[in-house]
Amino acid sequence: MPRARRLLILTVFIVYAVNGCKAADVESAQKPSITLAPGMSEINVPASLSESHSGQPIAVDIYIPETTTTFRGDILVLPGWNFSRKEWQNKSHLVKLASEKNFRLIFPEMKTTLYESSYYPETRMKWAPTPGGQWVKEIFIPQLQRYGLLIRGNRNFLLGLSTGARGVALVTLQNPGLFTAGAALSGDYDQSVMSRDRLMTKVYGAYDAFPERWTGKDNPQKRISEWTMPIYLGHGHKDAVVPFSQTKTFYEALKTAHPALMIRFNEPAQAGHDFTYWASELPAVIDFFLSVP
């Protein structure tokens, strides 16, 4: 056999074998290896990929509606800074809505993370051994996929309030193409205009010393050009914790950069930074998720 022909056949065989492995991997990823009973369950997810720096496992509540086996999607629910994962459950009617509309809910205990992609020598606030954004991408999502949750290609959604709304933006950008749509309430998206923010300083170091950390990959506002996911944004004008301008500016930049994308913004004049407001947004958020093709 001529040498050129042998090389061609070998190349075809290698490509076929690699593609066959990928197809098998994708097929197995669609099948949960662990199942949960309907209702609310708690699982524990490793805090680190390193056994020598494992830390305490991260508690996660998973809600599965009891009345159906056909779900409209999975919603990853992110809390505010240092909020318990239980607050969404206890201070809003989210679980009831999920039961009525057939959504599965995922509530991780995110503690004090800012959804940072990296730690630095100056970092003085570490929520866990692994930075929050890296943990979500490399540990948490793969673990959930063992339960058949957040499978790529399925209808996956994000919901967050306050720092969790920032999490919606960063998790979206850190996991492109995984989520169908998101909702972010009362969030901050450009820390560079709050250069004395104490929480940001504890993670990224002082703005004056490390401006590139404040304006780089962990700044959603600076990554508007990469945005592809439909999103519902909400922020009350009377928010005394996170400036209303954070969401307004983020919304305007998204609309300018991506005029054809589904983006909705609600800005109630009397709303503050509390569960009275956040709970009031939930029917519109669920309707938005259902409306996304």
Q: What integer pLDDT is reported at residue 52 of this predicted model?
A: 73
Asked whether residue 4 is domain-assigned, the answer is no
Task: Take residue 290 and report the two structure tokens written for it.
Answer: 């259902």
Q: What integer pLDDT is reported at residue 30 of this predicted model?
A: 59
Q: What integer pLDDT is reported at residue 211 of this predicted model?
A: 98
Write the CB contacts of 188 (distance below 8 Å, at least 6 apart in sequence): 163, 165, 166, 194, 242, 243, 246
Confidence of residue 53 (pLDDT cuts 50, 70, 90): confident
Helix and strand totals (H; E) in the chain = 10, 8
pLDDT above 60 (res 260): yes
Confidence of residue 96 (pLDDT cuts 50, 70, 90): very high
CB 60 within 8 A of CB 86: no
Asked whether residue 24 is domain-assigned, the answer is no
CA–CA distance, 104 with 262 (Å, rounded to integer): 23
Asked whether residue 131 is domain-assigned, the answer is yes
Q: What integer pLDDT is reported at residue 14 of this predicted model?
A: 27
Collapse the DSSP code of 189 into the 3-class scheme (helix H, G, I; strand E, B; otherwise coil) and give the result: coil
Q: What percent of the chain has pLDDT over 90?
A: 85
Asked whether residue 33 is domain-assigned, the answer is no
pTM: 0.89
The predicted model gives 111-126 an average pLDDT of: 98
Residue 111 carries which DSSP code? T
Higher per-residue pLDDT: 29 or 258? 258
Confidence of residue 51 (pLDDT cuts 50, 70, 90): confident
Asked whether residue 194 is domain-assigned, the answer is yes
Domain around 240: 39-291
The predicted model gives 195-223 an average pLDDT of: 98
pLDDT above 90 (res 15): no
CATH number, residue 248: 3.40.50.1820
Q: What is the pLDDT of residues 157-176, one digit of tens each?
A: 999 999 999 999 999 999 99
Asked whether residue 143 is domain-assigned, the answer is yes
Asked whether residue 128 is domain-assigned, the answer is yes
Confidence of residue 67 (pLDDT cuts 50, 70, 90): confident
Q: What integer pLDDT is reported at residue 50 of this predicted model?
A: 81
Asked whether residue 174 is domain-assigned, the answer is yes
Q: How many domains are there within the chain?
A: 1
